[in-house]
C-alpha cells in the first residue's frame, strides 16, 4: 500500500481527501448506515479532532450536524464557529439546513460551503434560490442513495427518485458540487460504490463529485483518484485507524 501511495504522490495527486466530523451533543460520533441507534462516540472534543486533521496537512473538513438533521434546523453552529475560528480548514457544513436563516447562521459561523440534501427533494424552490443567492461555489447538493434511489430525512425516507435524473435537474440549475453517499455502505467499511461514482462521472464529467461512504483503506482512495473522482469523504476508517493520518499526510505530500 505504501509503494502505491508513493507512486501516486509522484504522479500528482488530484483527489481531495475530506475527513468527516459528525456531531451529536457536541461530540464527534459516527453512525452506521445513518442509524442513530448505531452510534459510536469517538471524541468528546471535535476541535481536537479538527486540529489533528489540520496538523496532518489536510485542508478540508466535512462537518455534519446530526442533531440539526433530526431537529430540522441548525443546532451545532457553536462547534462550527469554534473549529472555523481556531483552524484554517475549509469547512462544508450540513445537517438540518432548511431556511435562509439556517444558512445565514452557518456562513456567519464560518462555513465556506453548505450541503443540502433533504431540502433539495422536499423544497426545491428554496434550494434553487440558495444557488442564485449564495452562488454555486457555496452550495453543495447532497445526493445520497440507497439502491440507486435518493434518500432523505437523515436517510430515513426513500424519495423514490433515481439518482442520475435528480443530479441532472440540479446541474441544469447551476449546481457544480455534489456529495454522493451510498447509504448501504456508510460506516460499514465495506468499500465505496465505485460503480455508482463511475456512472455519475460518465454522465456529468465536469461535476465536482465527492464520494462518500464505505471507505476502508488508502488503496480505495487511490482507486477513486485514478478514476478521476475529484473528492472523497472518509470518517470511520480514520477513527478506527484503518487509514492513518500519516498515510494521508504522505499521500497529499504534506
Catalytic hit among 144, 182, 186, 225: 144
Q: Is there a contact between 68 and 91 (Cβ–Cβ < 8 Å)?
A: no
CA distance 231 to 208: 7
| 15 phi and psi angles, rounded to 5 deg | -70, 140
Active site residue 144: yes
Exposure string for 16-28, b = 16+ CB within 10 A, e = fewer: bbbbbbbbbeebb
Q: Which three cell numbers stand for residue 211?
A: 464520494
CA distances from 154 to 18, 87, 141, 212 (A): 20, 28, 15, 15
Here the cell at position 86 is 481556531
Q: Strand pairing partners for 28?
A: 23, 43
| Backbone φ/ψ region at 213: left (φ over 0), alpha (ψ -120 to 50), beta | left
Contacts of 52 by beta carbon, 8 Å cutoff, 6+ apart:
245
Task: State yes or no: is 22 an active-site residue.
Answer: yes
What is the spatial distance between Cα 149 and Cα 130, in angstroms, rounded to a whole number? 24
The DSSP letter of residue 247 is H
Task: Give the sign of the dihedral formed by CA 112, CA 116, CA 117, CA 118.
Answer: positive
Catalytic (active-site) positions? 22, 144
Amino acid at each position: 500500500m505504501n509503494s502505491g501511495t508513493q507512486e501516486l504522490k509522484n504522479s500528482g495527486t488530484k483527489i481531495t481527501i475530506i475527513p468527516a466530523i459528525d456531531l451529536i451533543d457536541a461530540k464527534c460520533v459516527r453512525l452506521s448506515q445513518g442509524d442513530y441507534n448505531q452510534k459510536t462516540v469517538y471524541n468528546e472534543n471535535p476541535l481536537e479532532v479538527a486540529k489533528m486533521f489540520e496538523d496532518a496537512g489536510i485542508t478540508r473538513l466535512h462537518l455534519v450536524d446530526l442533531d440539526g438533521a433530526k431537529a430540522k434546523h441548525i443546532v451545532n453552529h457553536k462547534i462550527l464557529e469554534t473549529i472555523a475560528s481556531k483552524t484554517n480548514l475549509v469547512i462544508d457544513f450540513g445537517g438540518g439546513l432548511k431556511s435562509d436563516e439556517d444558512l445565514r447562521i452557518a456562513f456567519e459561523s464560518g462555513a465556506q460551503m453548505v450541503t443540502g440534501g433533504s431540502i433539495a427533494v422536499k423544497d426545491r424552490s428554496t434550494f434553487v434560490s440558495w444557488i442564485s443567492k449564495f452562488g454555486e461555489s457555496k452550495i453543495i447538493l447532497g445526493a445520497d442513495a440507497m439502491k440507486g434511489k435518493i434518500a432523505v430525512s437523515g436517510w430515513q425516507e426513500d424519495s423514490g427518485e433515481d439518482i442520475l435524473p435528480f443530479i441532472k435537474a440540479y446541474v441544469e440549475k447551476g449546481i457544480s458540487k455534489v456529495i454522493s453517499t451510498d447509504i448501504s455502505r456508510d460506516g460499514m467499511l465495506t468499500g465505496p460504490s465505485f460503480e455508482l461514482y463511475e456512472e455519475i462521472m460518465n454522465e456529468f464529467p465536469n461535476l465536482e463529485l465527492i464520494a462518500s461512504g464505505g471507505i476502508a483503506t488508502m488503496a480505495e482512495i487511490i482507486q477513486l483518484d485514478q478514476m478521476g473522482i475529484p473528492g472523497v469523504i472518509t470518517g470511520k476508517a480514520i477513527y478506527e485507524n484503518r487509514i492513518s493520518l500519516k498515510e494521508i499526510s504522505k499521500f497529499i505530500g504534506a
